[in-house]
Amino acid sequence: MAEQIALEVTRFSPERDKVPSIQAFDVPLRKEWVVLDALNYVKDRVDGSLSFRWSCRMGVCGSCGMMVNGEPKLTCATFLTDYAPGPVRVEPLKNFPVMRDLIVEITDFLGKLSKVKPWIIRAKKKPLSEGEYLQTPDELDTYRQFSMCINCLLCYAACPVYGLDPLFAGPAALALAQRYNMDSRDEGKSERLDILSQHDGIWGCTFVGECTEVCPKHVDPAGAIQQYKLTATQEWIRSLLMPWGGKS
Amino acid sequence: MLDISSHDVLIVGGGGAGLRAAIAVAETNPNLNIAVLSKVYPMRSHTVSAEGGAAGVIGPDDTLDEHAYDTISGGDWLPDQDAVEFFVKEAPEELLRMEHWGCPWNREPNGRVAVRPFGGMKKERTWFAADKTGFHMLHTLFQTSLKYNAVTRYDEFYATKLLADDGQVQGVVAIELASGKIQAISAKAVILTTGGCGRVFPFTTNAAIKTGDGMSLAYRAGAPLKDMEFVQYHPTGLPFTGILITEAARAEGGYMLNKDGYRYLQDYNLGKPQPQPVLRSMELGPRDRLSQAFVKEFEKGRTLKGPYGDVVHLDLRHLGEKKITTKLPFVRELCLKYENLDPVKELIPVRPVVHYMMGGVHTDTNGATPLKGLYAAGEVACVSINGANRLGSNSLTECLVFGAQCGRAAADFASTQRAPGRHLLAQAVDEETRLQDQFLRKAGGRERISEIREEMQRTMEQSAGIYRSRDSLEQAAGKLSELQERFRDIGLDDRGHAFNTELVAALELGSMVDVAESIIQCALHRTESRGAHQRTDFPARDDQKFLAHSVVTRTAEGTPAVNYLPVKITRWPPAERVYGK
């Protein structure tokens, strides 16, 4: 008999259960297996009703974020052997409503993403016939890191502010706002700032940077939020000094 | 009571082609009401995994004709040349439009967009965003699509059937995964952009969601599938996981080595080894030829044994840490994370892995299928620009060019049509009954999804892999009819409604078995070798009989019937494929 590890997973069916419970399964402990492989083992061979999201299995689609032993992780990039001898506990991402087993409701994030206007805003668009907007490698580097966000939402699960204040736009949405603000092709910074200063959320964010610590793509949302605070403060001071056009 | 909601244009699939189509519809006619339906949130779509880049002529020394010639010869003269000419002409503008929408393309020091070499391409014309091009394109398209208020999204809905009235497609029946509710969604035009079906095979770079849903939806509704026998093996996948190591690794100068450290491609008519990469030569040959060379090396005993089958090595060490981190950061990340090795210092074990379907739903250059009101674009479709073998970096561009084109065509068509009537609801009621009877309310059911799926995958690898023969294909045909039969006896553990992912897996398996049968039948009937379709019993290309597309339709009995359509030749008469010269 191959070596086994105990996999404890959250079970919840809105049709059947009032509260979630934990169910344990013994799964083979294989060196090359990630936590997601263990979940698929259960689904394929033991209990087909276990529900979770996954797709690319290479850490780029952002579907398979879950809490693994209390930490937000991409389960396709988290090896079982790191938790030997076990047990390894897999739960739905914290701070989101649970829809079923390990699946959480993320529409709140999608609404927030749309609100920060994550697209290029320009007063005057250049026609395609005039070619590309020039952007040097250094200019690209100023925002590249923030463009690496895969929307896996581990940062929301780690964020103490989002946990307490669901109106907070949150780390990924702010990092993506900053991704466009820093892009040399964009002119929408003040529009995005207006939206974000309507809520106090960003001021509640501390320097602790839990979001940056858990980010599997090294996006550094905490850095983006600090940049944002600085810009917002500068804009606020400028609006005091130049009330008639400081934001143009 | 079933709901029916209606739109002007409904797009099924939210990846690169689907989102590009949605934007094209919105820009063609701002009054149209657009819906994008996908079984996952759009940014999870498999476009996200594409790494190397997107081809489009940009350099002053390059021409559209050269891109066309590379594509046609790369496809072993099976691409339709009118479609290829249209494709190469539209490509640069589509890539430029992505730039205007914010795609973070790599740049030259002067700020211009940078391009890199790619397999089978004679000039440098592959636009790239490091080695996460598909990821950046998908997120750019998704984020840009958010500004169009005309687009309604049905995220996490699974389409089970096309609604049709008198041969005209008018919407879908779909399951809202969150609630399990079955819904009819009607539209004047439907565009399929659901991607390919790599999951029909056991070892693939494709994500779990690539299950041929759109191909099967169209096929069951009576639309023909085309060139299904042409399955691309990418020569460099990581063993066990099948994770793709992008062709860009070779374009930047990586070597393919056998167990003796020898650059074995020189033995397969692909040119002589040089220290620097040479276009259309050696490691930059086309994918079909490189994957075939692996099999030959294996037969000669010159590959290495690994725990998951034989491998060869991809050597990037001589590129140095700086080049690897700037041009191939994702390759390094994937190797470190999944193989526990650093390509800066170590060799990467790789083997061929199923990557892409050249075939798909038969369309014209507008993306229109023979069924009125039904369009398709991207990997689900077969226009065909890829013929018998797709060149790396043509598929991302194809999603843009044909996504946009079929968005425009569907918008024009929808603008002339009246809204479908509520009588379609009756078809949705029937479909709901079928799903209940077949899966949710059925008593018993002895077959497990994973067992049928694994048997299908094994069958496909053994019979329809890099080399095929009549014997292997006939065996597979028999096995697949058995699996179709056993599929009817499937029993689900999960009979609930909310997020029943087991029901989705069952429906996906149904699609895959359909698609697998169409692949086997097309492969059986094509008694020649061309591009990615290599028959050991018919090793030569036969232009007399097979300069033609396979077209497979579903008969009344549910079995596949294969016919042929001539290839459109405009300016490049069939010739020998020459590499390394």
B527 pLDDT higher than 60:
yes
Picking from A61, A115, A140 by the largest number of B CB atoms within 10 A of its own CB, the best residue to mutate is A61
pLDDT bucket at B1, cuts 50 / 70 / 90: low
Cross-chain residue pair B40–A101, CB shorter than 8 Å: no
Query: What is the per-residue pLDDT across B34-82, written as a single tens digit (0 to 9) for each?
Result: 999 999 999 999 999 999 999 999 999 999 999 999 999 999 999 999 9
Segment B433-457 shows an average pLDDT of: 95
Interface contact flag, B49 A134, Cβ < 8 Å: no
Whether A203 shows a pLDDT value over 90: the answer reads no
> Does the distance separating the beta carbons of A147 and B136 come in below 8 Å?
yes
Kindly report, residue by residue over B233-280, the tens digit of the pLDDT. Answer: 999 999 999 999 999 999 999 999 999 999 999 999 999 999 999 999
Instruction: Using CB atoms, pick whichever of A56, A101, A144 lies closest to residue B46.
Output: A56
User: What's the DSSP call for residue A92?
Assistant: P
Query: What is the pLDDT confidence band of residue B478, given thresholds at 50, 70 and 90?
Result: very high
Distance (Å, whole) CA A109 – CA B409: 33
Burial class (CB in 10 A: 0-12, 13-18, 19+), A66: buried
- The residue extents of the domains of chain A are 4-104, 107-241
Neighbours of B28 (CB within 10 A): 18
Sequence-distant contacts of A222-228: CB under 8 A, at least 24 apart: A222/A171, A224/A146, A224/A171, A224/A174, A224/A175, A224/A177, A224/A178, A224/A179, A225/A171, A225/A174, A225/A175, A227/A178, A228/A174, A228/A177, A228/A178, A228/A196, A228/A202
> Percent of chain A at pLDDT above 70?
94
Above 0.85 for ipTM, yes or no? yes
State the pLDDT at residue A208: 75
- Report which of B259, B256, B350 is spatially closest to residue B302, judged by C-alpha positions: B259
Residues of A whose CB is below 8 A from B132: 60, 148
Identity (one letter) of the amino acid at A160?
Answer: P
- Rounded CA separation B465/B459 (Å): 9
pLDDT at A236 (0 to 100): 73
Residue A248, pLDDT above cutoff 50: no
Query: What is the model's pLDDT at position A72?
Result: 98
Residues of chain B contacting residue A45, judged by C-beta atoms under 8 Å apart: 450
CB pairs under 8 A between A and B: 161
The residue-averaged pLDDT of B183-192 equals 97
- Closest Cα in chain B to A173: B143
Average pLDDT over chain A, rounded to whole? 92
> For the residues B395-400, what does the mean pLDDT come to?
98
Catalytic-labelled residue, pool B250, B408, B533, B549 = B250
A243 has a pLDDT exceeding 70: no
Per-residue pLDDT band for A198 (boundaries 50, 70, 90) equals low
B250 annotated active-site: yes
Whether the per-residue pLDDT at A1 is higher than 70: the answer is no
Q: What is the CATH number of domain A107-241?
A: 1.10.1060.10
* Cα pseudo-dihedral B404, B405, B410, B415, rounded to 10: 90
Indicate the pLDDT class of residue B87, thresholds 50, 70 and 90. Answer: very high
Confidence of residue A201 (pLDDT cuts 50, 70, 90): low
Q: Do A14 and B500 touch (CB under 8 A)?
A: no
* Count of C-beta atoms within a 10 Å radius of residue B558: 10
Over residues B539-571, the pLDDT tens digits come to: 999 999 999 999 999 999 989 999 999 999 999
pTM of the model: 0.97
Alpha-helix residue ranges (DSSP H) falling in B464-534: 470-487, 501-525
Is A4-104 a CATH 3.40.50.12160 domain? Answer: no
From residue B568, give the alpha-carbon distance in Å to each of B230, B475, B547, B574.
Answer: 18, 33, 9, 11
pLDDT for the residue A247: 42
Residue A242 Cα, gap to closest chain B Cα (Å) = 31
